[in-house]
Amino acid sequence: LSEPEQGQVGTGDCAFPPRLAPDDAWRCPHCQVLQQGVVKLSLWTLPDILIIHLKRFRQVGERRTKLSTLVRFPLRGLNMAPHVAKRSQAGSLYDLYAVCNHHGSMQGGHYTAYCRNSLDSHWYSYDDSAVEPVLEDEVSTRGAYILFYQRRNVIPSWSASSSVQGGPAPLPSALAPGDVLLRGAQAWPTQGRL
């Protein structure tokens, strides 16, 4: 992400360094001339669960600093099609179901979560033992750290239930809001991280 320190960016602003530096030049196999290459990165296949890890910590020399740039991200319909190399693939729309937030600085911080309940489709804030409703408008904050998206209309095989509305929901009676979503998130292997 390009990151004006206190400004705001959107998930569509994701950009890689457009050109390699001259001292990092690439030798063209055809003309054997050193060229300033252009960096391009795209995904080959799309996962059922897409986890986006925002860069919130920056190393400057010896110091590490917290970045509080406001990143605007869609709660529904994140379209990954422009970032996929193989365009024919079906199902590139994602809906957000959880956000991990980091509050504080490098010296001390606190984590909270916003999760969408698959039963009532409402968002809830999880702060230690406190759970309270949040408005959709409040889900995107400067504290957003890790975004959890689920491919639309897909129920992963490893998931007992799903945040997809209308999915099968044989639920135990003692379930708290968000339990299903968190259990699903934990079951995802860490290698799926970006």
Q: Which stretch binds Zn ion (CB under 5 A): 7-15, 17-25, 29-37, 143-151?
A: 29-37
The DSSP call for residue 42 is -
**Could you give the 3-state DSSP secondary structure of residue 193?**
strand
Which one, 21 or 33, has the nearer CB to Zn ion? Answer: 33
Q: How many Å is the Cα radius of gyration of the chain?
A: 20
Does 29 bind Zn ion (CB under 5 A)? Our answer is no
Does 30 bind Zn ion (CB under 5 A)? Our answer is yes
Which one, 24 or 120, has the nearer CB to Zn ion? Answer: 24
The DSSP call for residue 104 is E
Which one, 36 or 121, has the nearer CB to Zn ion? Answer: 36
Which one, 28 or 171, has the nearer CB to Zn ion? Answer: 28
The correct pick among 5, 16, 31, 137 for binding Zn ion (CB under 5 A) is: 31
Residues between 141 and 180 with contacts to Zn ion, criterion CB under 5 A: none
The beta-strand segments (E) located in 6-106 are 8-10, 26-27, 34-35, 49-53, 57-60, 63-66, 70-72, 78-79, 93-104
Query: Please, are residues 64 and 58 in contact by the beta-carbon 8 Å criterion?
Result: yes
Q: How far is the CB of 27 from Zn ion (least distance, A)?
A: 9
Total of chain residues touching Zn ion, rule CB under 5 A: 3
CA distance 44 to 54: 21
Does 28 bind Zn ion (CB under 5 A)? Our answer is yes
Q: How far is the CB of 31 from Zn ion (least distance, A)?
A: 3
Query: Please, are residues 80 and 50 in contact by the beta-carbon 8 Å criterion?
Result: yes
Sites of contact with Zn ion (CB under 5 A): 28, 30-31
